[in-house]
Structure 1
């Protein structure tokens, strides 16, 4: 059985139809040939874009010369009402300063410190999970948001403000397209950006709530009563170059992206991982057997024992990468694969296509967690597997996600059995992350 993916569009469509498809779902707007192409060019009246699948080109853009290919401002146009000037959207010296302050909070030792909070969120998720036919997406969103609030601010999602942020974000996620009109037209800064009124209002509400949490933490830090969590670590870390810390306003921007990246992406990956296990009960049985023994270890060392869970989670990230496409922009003329690429071109790196590329992977559309021990899997892991991006801009929370994902997956599968519901297989679409068009419905029963 092959896990579902969107139907590709015909190779040639009108620009109007392409823009309409793109706005509805970026995945099904792309032609099937992209799963075999090393590079593809797309021209519009507004800009040129190039999809890069050749591993050496991806390496050039992300690893070898990242300063020459900054993050494109076109994607940021749609997200700026919520994310402001966060590390996800900035470039150059501003971005480097932000990363110097943020990165120490996610180093290896800090992962060990956050482990009890992640496990507590997993236990709460198991307690909330009911039996019967259920949509996994809201359940995993709840669990992932709980992880973020516990590790960032030392509060469970039941906290009043945390609950409000989570509810508002659920509304925001479904109203925000990946690209809006401003992204295509590159409007001057003084012109309206084309954001939906509901999107703007929800973003303002979320940021107001985050401001409350951040201001309260600033006060507790000043009083010496703040808990030693991720928020305190980030807000008390001085830039080693300038000696400055984040202001309250700057921290609001960063918390917004921590919540988006840490909650939305983890929820997507966990939902798809559980669906894949429902589709492949033999792998689910193997994971449940491993979890039954491994989870008796309650400290951080359990992570090294969750080998099957880790490989299943990796495979879910391969087939359904939460962030399906990344966009960089050329700052000078380039020449890739004997093509001249002008300054200002959009360089699209698509984990969705790269992870399923027919000329790179064995059985690219199949679910095979065992692939990671094969020669092909090991090579592709190095050259063609970027669920967290790569190079200087690799997701600062990648290590965090690879603790959270396998742990929560193991805890849920140890407690419950997940089964496919005939006729209700999910269809992946891209909103802010790769989600299912009408939810991920499975039958849940207690083991």
Structure 2
């Protein structure tokens, strides 16, 4: 059994080293004490930030008073070239309007409608695999992108435009750190945002391709010939307060975040889940046993049979949360754990730390899917588990992801056996999501 390589956890990190590591890998910058602390302060010459692991503070920021802790504009700096004014980065009345239009598309009934497309993508992913050494992140990215295109635009990943978006997004993902350097500097709004040329080019290419898809769909809707998928649902849903629908430009912003949230995060989680199963063959056999009970045709009710598989996926999201950190900005003077927090400070909520916190979880760095069936985990699941955020800004696609992930996992393990490669231990780093620094390779064999 090959356990995941632990993240380096230095005791102390200088400001300059923090800036270097934040630019390349935010995870390696974190000192060991943060996995024990309830709160920590980080100072720069221009602002202060506070990492909050205290469940009461997290509840305050995300659930009790979210309007006083909006999304930080400093984080938006790095994502603006791709996401524009998407629901992921907006605040206030703009965000509220966007959610009123988007949320109905992800209600329970719509999830059932999308399930056959997910099933088809899972079957396609299974059939694409081959015996031998396989770079798993590439395969899970392919599979997750296929799910998004089938459910959002009713086209498979083999579609020419879908392929172009997929490859452009892969380039963007590797070139864009989770934080842009401008996040640390007090730059005026007119000053260049210091994005890499490759990042800007990839983002522009993605947005141009999504514009083609959104424009074509708008024409299909006008002609009464649009398929009944998520894109049609979102583009036709009016704001219940104003009656307005998304413009094509607004839809491009939203599709960009759907692709980021629905493809990039799912690909990350699925790759790590397969690695964890490869290094824990007993758990893999249990997933295979559940998957063997799946019917040959898409059946949403069959998801209830995948209880352990779902717990494997939940445990993967705990150990390798695709979005490792979220940042809010406080608007009012606050007092957190007897510390005065001035307006404009950055409030960092870190699933990466929270999910591995030594004072909250039993065996925090261990892979233990069965923890989710034990009573002791209920409190942790409520207070210290944030793979999709929480409160009003919880990811609208959380339910979608918790069907997609276990379904893809079950299909893949049903037909393939995954084993680790000796000496090839992946090291997680944060790009747009938590990925393996040099790829994630496993050996595949047909399962009898």
Q: TM tier, shorter chain?
A: over 0.9
Post-superposition offset of 1:302: 1.0
Q: Distance in 2 between matches of 1:186 and 1:31?
A: 26
Q: Which moved more, 1:285-294 or 1:147-156?
A: 285-294
Partner of 1:4: 5
Matched, 1:318 2:322: no
Conserved in 2, the CA contact under 8 Å of 1:134 and 1:442? yes
In structure 1, the partner of 2:155 is: 155
TM-score by structure 2 length? Answer: 0.98
The match for 1:217 is 217
Which residue is equivalent to 1:20?
A: 20
- Aligned twin of 2:305: 305
| Deviations, residues 374-408 of structure 1 (Å, cap 9, x unaligned) | 12211111111110000000000000000000000
Query: What is the rounded CA distance, in whole Å, between the counterparts of 2:417 and 2:128 in structure 1?
Result: 15
Structure 2 residue aligned with 1:171? 171
* Alpha-carbon shift at residue 114 of structure 1 (Å): 0.2
- Give me the CA root mean square deviation: 0.9
- Helix, strand or coil: the match of 1:445? strand
Range with bigger deviation, 297-306 or 218-227 = 297-306
2:58 and 2:224 map into 1 onto residues whose CA distance is 46
Q: Does residue 386 of structure 1 match 2:386?
A: yes
Question: Which string of whole-angstrom CA distances, capped at 9 and with x for unpartnered residues, describes residues 116-140 of structure 1?
Answer: 0000000000010111011100000
Q: Which moved more, 1:179-188 or 1:129-138?
A: 179-188
* Contact 1:174 1:431 (C-alpha < 8 Å) held by counterparts: yes
Match in the other structure for 1:181: 181
1:336 Cα offset (Å): 0.7
Alignment of 1:261-300 (within 5 A): 261-296=261-296, 298-300=298-300
The corresponding residue for 2:127 is: 127
Q: Unpaired segments of 5 or more residues in structure 2?
A: none
Matches within 5 A, 1:14-413: 14-296=14-296, 298-413=298-413
Tell me, yes or no, if the aligned pair for 1:42 and 1:48 is still in contact at 8 Å: yes
By how many angstroms is 1:297 displaced? 6.3
- Say which SS state the counterpart of residue 33 (structure 1) adopts: helix
Mapped partners of 1:376, 1:367: distance in 2: 16
Report SS of the residue matched to 1:127: helix
Spell out structure 1 runs of 4+ moving beyond 4 A.
none
SS at match of 2:144: helix
Distance 1:146 1:294 in 2: 21
**Superimposed CA distance per residue, residues 67-120 of structure 1 (whole angstroms, 9 cap, x where no aligned partner):** 000000111101000100000010000000000000000000000000000000
Cα deviation for residue 10 of structure 1 reads: 2.9
1:24 and 1:67 map into 2 onto residues whose CA distance is 31
Q: Secondary structure at the match of 2:328?
A: strand
Q: 1:38 Cα shift?
A: 0.4
CA distance in 2, matches of 1:118, 1:240: 29
The CA distance in 1 between the partners of 2:64 and 2:297, in whole Å, is 41
SS at the partner of 2:376? helix
Deviation at 1:184, TM superposition (A): 0.9
Partner SS, residue 19 of structure 2: helix
Q: Distance in 2 between matches of 1:358 and 1:346?
A: 24
Confirm or deny: 8 A CA contact 1:126 1:412 kept in the other structure. yes
CA distance in 1, matches of 2:198, 2:76: 18
What do residues 189-245 of structure 1 show as CA deviations (whole Å, max 9, x unaligned)?
111110111111111111000000000000000000000000000000000011100
Is the Cα–Cα contact under 8 Å of residues 362 and 376 in structure 1 kept in the other structure? Answer: no
Give the Cα–Cα distance (whole angstroms) in 2 for the partners of residues 242 and 126 of structure 1: 45
Distance in 2 between residues matched to 1:115 and 1:262, nearest whole Å: 14
Which is further off, 55-64 or 369-378? 369-378
* Count of residues paired in the alignment: 446
The residue matched to 1:418 in structure 2 has which SS?
strand
SS at match of 1:294: coil
Which shows bigger deviation, 178-187 or 73-82? 178-187
Question: CA offsets, 1:229-286, max 9 Å, x none?
Answer: 0000000000001110000000000000000110000000000000000000000001
Instruction: Give the Cα separation in 2 of the matches to 1:286 and 1:69.
Output: 43
SS of the residue corresponding to residue 121 of structure 1 reads helix
1:293 partner SS: coil
